[in-house]
Structure 1
Amino acid sequence: MPIMPPQDDRDDLDCQEALEVEFQAHAGVALLQLLDDAKSMGWPDAEARKAIMRLIEVHLNAGRQAVEDV
């Protein structure tokens, strides 16, 4: 198997940017769907948005805590 030369920083940045764009596209759709679902259950828009932000915060903090505990 041939040894591949290291990529330069530009290639790494391009790849990272592409991954971020793809993630944002998928995450954005999922978050909008979550907002629509909450509103369809009767949540006011502002309250639904606050609940979604809190949900994200709780899950990110839980994930961070799990990594720190390892």
Structure 2
Amino acid sequence: MNLNLRNAIIHNVSGNSQTQLEDTIVDAIQSGEEKMLPGLGVLFEVIWQNSSEDEKKEMLTTLENGLK
């Protein structure tokens, strides 16, 4: 992914409230548009980088269960 795209996505949501972030995520998922996937990936990257090891394990368990 182009670093400029990553920075643009982060810039666009920086300072957003939890409600605004949730709306962004829900809208991206509900739209089902492929062009939204990079943005969701960047948001997940931020979550991952700012999570503890226990939180990462919990996310991986949730992901694994969701893919069964």
TM-score, length-normalised on structure 1? 0.33
Q: Which has the higher contact order (CA 8 A, sep 6+)?
A: 2
* Greater Rg over alpha carbons, structure: 1
TM-score, length-normalised on structure 2? 0.34
